[in-house]
């Protein structure tokens, strides 16, 4: 099975009021485990005319905002507008995942219907079909999923499996009063990575947790 782990950096927890600043994702294939350097990775900064958020969240993401400014100055292709994010994300995902779902919920193989291509060879979306992906991440249901849903036109391109992969339930002990946080999950999985190295490393930590607990 292939699944995608997402990590968002934002101006706060309210998806309808706070800006997306950065999106990171890693595709894991349970039948073909790769190391961090080789595994398919995605990271973009999001250009906003105005970044909305609470002071603490914006302060914590101050280095990202500086990177945004540098990317704009250097005309980097690592930054996209929110309106282009859905297509940009889809173009990356479609290079690694080939399962589609049509409007009647039939599973379709990538080669089972006609494809058209842009000039750079990226498969363009047949509007009657969406890319079906298994998704997850720490606190995915209450954070990442909400921000994914406010991306313009995202539901024209992607269909998310309604069953999310969140490692916290896998590391729950009967003595716990609540689900363990990320650091406790990492501790129980014997993962010793440093905190907040990057958003991609945040995604990688989740994959390592799932690999450890599910033993695949």
The DSSP H or E segment spanning 88 is: helix 82-93
Phi, psi of 200 (to 5 degrees): -65, -35
Residue 1: predicted pLDDT: 92
| CATH number of the domain encompassing residue 23 | 3.30.420.10
Q: What HEC string does 55-72 produce? A: HHHHHHCHHHHHHHHHHH
Report the distance separating Cα 156 and Cα 138, nearest Å.
25
User: pLDDT tens-digit profile of 21-68?
Assistant: 999 999 999 999 999 999 999 999 999 999 999 999 999 999 999 999
Supply the range of the domain harboring residue 132. Answer: 2-214
Low-confidence spans in the chain with pLDDT less than 50: 103-127
State the CB neighbour count (10 A cutoff) for residue 112. Answer: 11
Residue 10: predicted pLDDT: 96
Residue 32: predicted pLDDT: 95
CA atoms within 13 A on the CB side of 65: 16
Report the distance separating Cα 196 and Cα 182, nearest Å.
11
Cβ-Cβ contacts under 8 Å for 138 (sequence gap 6 or more): 166, 167, 168, 182, 185, 202, 206
User: pLDDT tens-digit profile of 28-40?
Assistant: 999 999 999 999 9
Report the distance separating Cα 134 and Cα 5, nearest Å.
9
Asked if residues 193 and 186 have their Cβ atoms less than 8 Å apart, the reply is yes
State how many domains the chain has.
1
Residue 141: predicted pLDDT: 83
Which two three-digit tokens encode residue 80? 């996209």
Report the distance separating Cα 140 and Cα 147, nearest Å.
10
């Amino acid at each position: 099975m292939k699944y995608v782990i997402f990590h968002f950096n934002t101006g706060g927890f309210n998806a309808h009021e706070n800006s997306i600043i950065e999106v990171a994702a890693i595709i894991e294939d349970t039948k073909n485990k790769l190391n961090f350097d080789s595994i398919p990775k995605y990271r973009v900064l999001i250009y906003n005319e105005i970044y909305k958020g609470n002071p603490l969240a914006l302060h914590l993401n101050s280095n990202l905002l500086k990177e945004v400014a540098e990317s704009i100055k250097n005309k980097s292709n690592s930054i996209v507008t929110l309106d282009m994010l859905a297509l940009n994300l889809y173009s990356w995902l479609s290079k690694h995942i080939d399962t589609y779902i049509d409007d009647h919920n039939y599973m379709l193989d990538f080669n089972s219907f006609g494809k058209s291509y842009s000039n750079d060879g990226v498969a363009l979306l047949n509007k009657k079909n969406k890319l079906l992906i298994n998704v997850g991440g720490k606190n995915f249901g209450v954070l990442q999923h909400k921000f994914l849903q406010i991306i313009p036109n995202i539901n024209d391109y992607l269909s998310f499996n309604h069953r999310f992969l969140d490692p916290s339930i896998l590391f729950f002990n009967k003595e716990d009063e609540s689900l363990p946080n990320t650091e406790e999950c990492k501790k129980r999985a014997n993962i010793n990575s440093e905190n907040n190295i990057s958003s991609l490393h945040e995604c990688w930590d989740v994959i390592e947790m799932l690999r450890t607990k599910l033993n695949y």
